């Protein structure tokens, strides 16, 4: 089981603002990919930040890049991040809102490094549109599908309620967006779901996993990857489990 760095390793930064220090930290770890959160500023710039709400109370999509950087020091654009990484680490682009779909598709279309890029979100419409705009960029469907709020408690309740239904519906959910993989709330990851994903040829990622014992549970259920804020801890934990077992 391999590790994916969560949210640009920026969980401890205000608003989850990704920066170059986080990118450098990711390069020093044994990661299969780095997940980054992609949002669109009001002037069309694609930036990497988890939260759309800025300290002033304004929404990121309502301000231009310069204003966003004044409120979120260290904020990097997607272009800057890709240039900084220099092809050394594959990226999973997590869409933070639908307004980022068109500029992201235009940005990704025809890129020579498309094999290093994948995009994820739970909505079918954004992924279908990205298939049209940038067909060579892999699409990973986020599951379960939530609507419309993404608060933690409703998400967890939905995951628990739907997890027994997911294995049977996985083929349809993947096919409608041409998914190359699925990324699943860890509360919904079961042996049956992993087995279904593997029968369909879909790698499965469990998110977000920050404790070695939970990572080991995901591995035993059959997950191929886990997304984590603490890759150094999980890496050490997985090596210890390997030595013991």
What span, in angstroms and rounded, lies between the C-alpha atoms of 16 and 9? 8
Query: Which segment of 44-53, 180-189, 215-224, 233-242 scores lowest on mean pLDDT?
Result: 233-242
pLDDT higher than 70, residue 155: no
94 contacts 121 by C-beta, under 8 angstroms: yes
Residue 50 sits in a domain of what CATH number? 3.20.20.190
At residue 162, the pLDDT reads 73
* Mean predicted confidence (pLDDT) in 198-227: 97
At residue 237, the pLDDT reads 42
5 contacts 33 by C-beta, under 8 angstroms: yes
How many structural domains is the chain composed of?
1
- Would you give the distance in Å from CA 57 to the centre of its chain? 25
* Mean predicted confidence (pLDDT) in 30-39: 97
For the chain, give the mean pLDDT.
Answer: 91
Tokens 């549970």: give the residue.
Answer: 217
What span, in angstroms and rounded, lies between the C-alpha atoms of 75 and 68? 8
Neighbours of 154 (CB within 10 A): 12
163 phi and psi, to 5 degrees?
-65, -30
pLDDT higher than 70, residue 159: no
User: pLDDT digits over 101-149, tens only?
Assistant: 999 999 999 899 989 999 999 999 999 999 999 999 999 999 987 654 5
What span, in angstroms and rounded, lies between the C-alpha atoms of 66 and 12? 23
User: pLDDT digits over 190-211, tens only?
Assistant: 999 999 999 999 999 999 999 9
User: pLDDT digits over 48-59, tens only?
Assistant: 999 999 999 999
At residue 35, the pLDDT reads 98
Neighbours of 118 (CB within 10 A): 21
Give this prediction's pTM: 0.91
Range of the domain at 38: 2-244
User: Is the bond leading into 87 cis (omega within 30 degrees of zero)?
Assistant: no
């Amino acid at each position: 089981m391999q590790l994916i760095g969560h949210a640009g390793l920026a969980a401890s930064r205000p608003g989850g603002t990704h920066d170059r220090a986080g990118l450098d930290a990711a390069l020093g770890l044994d990661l299969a990919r780095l997940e980054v959160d992609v949002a669109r500023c009001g002037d069309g710039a694609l930036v990497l930040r988890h939260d759309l709400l800025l300290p002033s109370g304004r929404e990121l999509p309502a301000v231009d890049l310069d204003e966003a950087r004044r409120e979120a020091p260290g904020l990097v654009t997607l272009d800057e991040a890709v240039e900084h990484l220099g092809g050394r680490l594959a990226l999973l682009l997590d869409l933070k809102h639908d307004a980022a779909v068109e500029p992201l598709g235009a940005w990704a279309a025809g890129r020579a490094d498309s094999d290093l890029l994948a995009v994820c979100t739970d909505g079918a419409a954004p992924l279908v549109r990205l298939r049209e705009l940038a067909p060579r960029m892999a699409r990973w469907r986020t599951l379960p599908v939530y609507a419309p709020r993404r608060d933690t408690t409703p998400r967890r309740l939905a995951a628990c309620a739907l997890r027994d239904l997911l294995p049977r519906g996985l083929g349809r959910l993947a096919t409608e967006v041409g998914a190359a993989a699925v990324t699943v709330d860890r509360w919904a990851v079961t042996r049956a779901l992993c087995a279904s994903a593997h029968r369909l040829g879909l790698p499965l990622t469990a998110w977000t996993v920050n404790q070695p014992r939970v990572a080991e549970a995901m591995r035993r259920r059959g997950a191929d990857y886990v997304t984590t804020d603490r890759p150094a801890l999980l890496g050490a934990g997985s090596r210890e489990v390997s030595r013991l077992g």
